[in-house]
């Protein structure tokens, strides 16, 4: 079984623990639940199937049943908070706690660099901007952005991306990209992407007033559509996004950094509300 630090879904960790114990002995859901202090023989199974959750006492009981102590126990607590948090703010706090525990233990949370990369709009913008401004100091890079960002934030972002191997330093204040596309596969990446989309949506709103019309394209349409039409349009938008990504990957000489937002969202609740 993998070390707990390689998990981000506490239910998956519990399921794998059960399967491992079952493979080596006559372990049952009833026994697992009993060891965790639950009277219901199938309660742990329901949790793993996402049909129920764990209380604070339940978390401690399950940790006892799995023999978790020290750092592993702390990580399991944080992982449960991450999995069951009701808001993105609380999920982010829990994931940062998971990262902190891993760092203090000199371990690594899977895709933690990708999470941090997508958490701030500065990183992807600077990753595209820095390579076309060789020798530029952080203040010069900051002034080249429409959105307000400090030289200190620019320096912090550059240092992080070099450390995470998203950028390669090839000279004094001169960088090149290590790869064209940054991706992540962990449970936490969608959380960071939601934060990114919120920030980029705000920048799009700001661009209406701060960017000359000839340098931007912002348009929209309000329309009624069926579920089948919605699914068709989502597919078309995804195909367009993939085509844009492929085109950008081939781009060699560019002068500006742009953001393309594809937004399709309901304005009414529909008949089922």
Q: Is residue 125 part of a domain?
A: no
Read off the CATH number of the domain in which 79 is found: 1.10.260
Q: Looking at the domain assignment, is residue 31 inside a domain?
A: yes
Q: Which domain holds residue 98?
A: 4-109
90 found inside a domain: yes
What is the mean predicted confidence (pLDDT) over 7-32?
Answer: 91
Inside any domain, residue 95: yes
Looking at the predicted structure, is the pLDDT value of residue 132 above 60?
yes
**Direct distance between the N- and C-terminal alpha carbons of the chain, in angstroms, rounded to an integer:** 45
* In a domain? residue 264: no
Calpha distance 172→218 (Å, rounded)? 37
* Structure tokens, 37: 């202090």
- Once rounded to an integer, what is the mean pLDDT over residues 137-152? 95
Distance CA 87, CA 92 (A): 9
Whether residue 198 is contained in a domain is answered as no
- State the total domains in the chain: 1
pLDDT computed for residue 233 by the predictor: 94
Q: Is residue 127 situated within a structural domain? A: no
- Assess whether pLDDT exceeds 60 at residue 108: no
What one-character-per-residue DSSP string does 85-144 give?
-SSHHHHHHHHHHHHHHHHHTT---TTHHHHHHHH-THHHHHHHHGGGSTT--HHHHHHT
For 31-79, write each residue's pLDDT tens digit.
999 999 999 999 999 999 999 999 999 999 999 999 888 888 999 999 9
Please report whether residue 47 resides in a domain.
yes
């Amino acid at each position: 079984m993998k070390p707990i630090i390689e998990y981000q879904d506490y239910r998956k960790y519990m399921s794998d623990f059960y399967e491992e114990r079952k493979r080596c002995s006559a372990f049952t859901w009833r026994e697992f639940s009993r060891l965790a202090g639950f009277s219901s023989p199938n309660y742990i199974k329901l949790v793993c199937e996402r049909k129920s959750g764990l209380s604070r006492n339940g978390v401690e009981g399950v940790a006892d049943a799995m023999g978790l102590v020290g750092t592993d126990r702390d990580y399991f607590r944080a992982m449960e908070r991450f999995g069951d948090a009701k808001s993105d703010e609380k999920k982010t706090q829990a994931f940062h706690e998971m990262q902190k525990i891993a760092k203090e233990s000199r371990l690594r949370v899977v895709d933690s660099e990708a999470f941090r990369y997508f958490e701030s709009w500065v990183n992807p913008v600077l990753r595209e901007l820095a390579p076309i401004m060789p020798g530029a100091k952080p203040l010069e890079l900051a002034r080249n952005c429409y959105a307000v960002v400090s030289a200190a934030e620019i320096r912090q972002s550059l240092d992080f991306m070099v450390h995470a191997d998203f950028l390669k330093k090839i000279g004094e204040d001169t960088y090149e990209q290590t790869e064209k596309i940054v991706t992540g596969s962990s449970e936490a990446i969608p959380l960071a992407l939601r934060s990114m989309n919120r920030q980029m949506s705000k920048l799009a709103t700001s661009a209406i007033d701060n960017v000359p019309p000839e340098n931007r394209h912002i348009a929209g349409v309000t329309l009624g559509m069926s579920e089948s039409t919605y699914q068709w349009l989502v597919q078309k938008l995804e195909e367009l996004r993939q085509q844009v990504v492929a085109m950008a990957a081939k781009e060699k000489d560019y002068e500006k950094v742009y953001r393309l937002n594809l937004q399709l969202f309901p304005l009414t609740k529909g008949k089922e509300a």
